Chain A
């Protein structure tokens, strides 16, 4: 008598594998032949498992038609029987099987559509979990944020494909527009798939978000996930991404890792991360880099700029002065007929203007009594701007701005004033 264990191994081989004639000898041979009796069980297995695959991969079935699907499913079943009783857990390797299945090679995206359907099935049957309220994470102290480990919803899974599989899937749902055409090579898919209450949500996400979630799913450490995302895109905003996860109910818990991980992240980056996590303020990687750039620009020597300002405004006045003395009669005529300065007689006004224009620029360039020298020039600018050529106010406002800067901030290091101040008072600033 054959032991039960040996009998069941033979029967299993005969049903799953095919032709073990030795098992026929175990079966009563009355009426219907043992081979035909065994075939009833083989057929039943093939039919029910094909049905299970069809339930999990309905779009694949639609893309290839029923007969081809049954053909592919049968080939798959022959090499892969279920390993446990839940039929929803059967078919995990069907997408890979399709990728290598020669008759399915014409539809190059088929295997990836199957992967999407498998992930949908997995999300549908994933464990339930209760999302944490948004306030939970906001309450984490700044100091602890680098140790934050985020627990994502068990249904969340990610998928990339070189094909637009989500659009292919959508176009093959009941009630979809049958006339829509999709260029299979048109786009890359990066998808997040998860269950929201009683339905599965499929969403396209961008590359940095994908990298962020991928890293979070791997070990849950927020710091690593942020780093992974920033490697893809410096504009990635960790706080926005976390906020979205909270909104979608995808964060179901958190804890603090026992000690900060050994990491190449600099202290400065960590502090920036802390601030983001604790406050959900809009602080991005880009802003950090902008700040660095601004710091660098801020280190450009002010004294050079001050000299350029002094030199440029001095030139304007100096050249005007030279023009005035080059033809004094014309100058007087202009003051008389054109400039028409109020209160002062034209001759006096012309002399004062020429004096200012030929002395103050020299003081400005050399940096002697510089702040004092700007005052007559500002006075002249005011008179010209208000009484002579008010229509040119923008140009005169620019002169005034430069002069006011020097009046209020001084001539800077490249000046005799500074030299004299050091010599006389042993102190900086004039």
Chain B
């Protein structure tokens, strides 16, 4: 696989390997305390200008590996990729030399309108061809392989013909990209659409999975019916932890991120989640080798 998953994670104190999403409310404390963490992940789009935030991230980069998580490339868009955005992404990669670079199996807009969301795709041969072409272009422009994340979706298109896990497997096979398995997204989608998450994990090409995401969700309702919403606004739910153990068993101890974007807790709570992920990963792979518990 690509260099991003063969590269070793350098834990801050030799034990921690899970990372957290870096959010501005926590920056001051992280700068002061420099807690043990496997890596810090940021949304790449928030650092695509010469803002003070970029200077801080560049500083933190000296102590932590950084993972750049893109939310704006719109790889599933039917139109052309935004070349200006790609070159900004490349400049950020050159500056930070990130451990991981990832994007989503989604689209965000078309014809100059950007909807600021990760929108669902119809899984068809046409979409697969377009998505593969865009991933090829992106990997070429960014000069490295990227990871593609399975999204949380709230609607599916009638004319989809390919199962999402199969779609991702084909994508990885054709483009050489890696996969980012978001266990919470999988749990939310499984709940909302009655899928078998274990079968989904089994269908993913284990060797391609280079990162795992964990996050919280909440139970809402739409049209009077219950629905799980992937809002990254709470602790990782117990069933998601169980699914994480299943993922570890299949993919090995890959870099794991705890995301928490809304209703941010104190940094300690987030670090606690990361330590919990570490403990589970360690229990699964006590000697630290990849796929030791598979």
Q: Are both chains from one complex? A: yes
Interface residues, chain A, CB within 8 Å of chain B? 1-5, 7-9, 11-12, 15-16, 25-28, 31-41, 44-45, 48-49, 52, 81-88, 90, 124-128, 197-199
If A4-B122, A16-B115 touch, does A41 touch B154 (CB 8 Å cutoff)? Answer: yes
**Shortest 9 CB-CB contacts between residues of A and residues of B:** A85-B72, A36-B223, A125-B49, A198-B52, A5-B78, A128-B50, A37-B155, A4-B78, A8-B110
A393 to chain B minimum Cβ distance, whole angstroms, is: 72
Write the chain A residue with the least CB distance to B111.
A9
Write the chain A residue with the least CB distance to B124.
A1
If A32-B222, A49-B116 touch, does A199 touch B126 (CB 8 Å cutoff)? Answer: no
Write the chain A residue with the least CB distance to B110.
A8
Give the complex CA separation of A234 and B165 in angstroms: 74
> Do B51 and A124 have beta carbons less than 8 Å apart?
yes
Give the complex CA separation of A37 and B82 in angstroms: 28
Contact of B222 among A39, A88, A198 (CB under 8 A): A39
Residues of B within 8 A of A126 (CB): 49-50
> Do A86 and B78 have beta carbons less than 8 Å apart?
no
Contact of B223 among A33, A49, A83, A124 (CB under 8 A): A33
11 pairs, A vs B, C-beta closer than 8 Å: A8-B110, A32-B225, A40-B229, A41-B115, A41-B154, A52-B116, A81-B114, A85-B72, A88-B46, A90-B116, A126-B50
Residues of B within 8 A of A7 (CB): 78, 122, 157
Within 8 A of A (CB), among B187-232: 222-223, 225, 227, 229
Give the complex CA separation of A44 and B45 in angstroms: 18
Residues of A within 8 A of B107 (CB): 8
If A3-B126, A88-B51 touch, does A16 touch B113 (CB 8 Å cutoff)? Answer: yes
Number of interface residues of B (CB under 8 A): 48
Give the complex CA separation of A128 and B73 in angstroms: 24
Give the complex CA separation of A126 and B52 in angstroms: 10
B159 CB-CB contact with A under 8 Å: yes
A331 to chain B minimum Cβ distance, whole angstroms, is: 94
Residues of A within 8 A of B157 (CB): 7, 26-28
Residues of A within 8 A of B154 (CB): 37, 40-41
Give the complex CA separation of A126 and B109 in angstroms: 25
Residues of B within 8 A of A5 (CB): 78-79, 110
B34 CB-CB contact with A under 8 Å: no
Give the complex CA separation of A145 and B49 in angstroms: 34
> Do A82 and B116 have beta carbons less than 8 Å apart?
yes
A interface: dominant SS: helix
Interface residues, chain B, CB within 8 Å of chain A? 45-46, 48-52, 55, 71-74, 77-79, 82, 84-85, 88, 107-117, 119, 121-122, 124, 126-127, 130, 154-159, 222-223, 225, 227, 229
Residues of B within 8 A of A37 (CB): 154-155, 222
Residues of A within 8 A of B111 (CB): 9, 12
> Do B116 and A86 have beta carbons less than 8 Å apart?
no
A20 to chain B minimum Cβ distance, whole angstroms, is: 14
Contact of A28 among B46, B84, B155 (CB under 8 A): B155
Residues of B within 8 A of A82 (CB): 113-116
Give the complex CA separation of A15 and B154 in angstroms: 14
Known: A1-B124, A37-B154. 18 other contacts (CB 8 A): A5-B78, A8-B107, A9-B111, A15-B117, A26-B157, A32-B223, A33-B223, A37-B155, A41-B119, A41-B155, A45-B117, A82-B115, A85-B108, A85-B116, A86-B72, A86-B88, A125-B51, A198-B52
A427 to chain B minimum Cβ distance, whole angstroms, is: 76
Give the complex CA separation of A4 and B107 in angstroms: 11
> Do A84 and B82 have beta carbons less than 8 Å apart?
yes
Give the complex CA separation of A41 and B73 in angstroms: 18
Residues of B within 8 A of A33 (CB): 223
A257 to chain B minimum Cβ distance, whole angstroms, is: 28
A115 to chain B minimum Cβ distance, whole angstroms, is: 19
A266 to chain B minimum Cβ distance, whole angstroms, is: 42
> Do B227 and A32 have beta carbons less than 8 Å apart?
yes
Give the complex CA separation of A248 and B79 in angstroms: 44
> Do B55 and A198 have beta carbons less than 8 Å apart?
yes
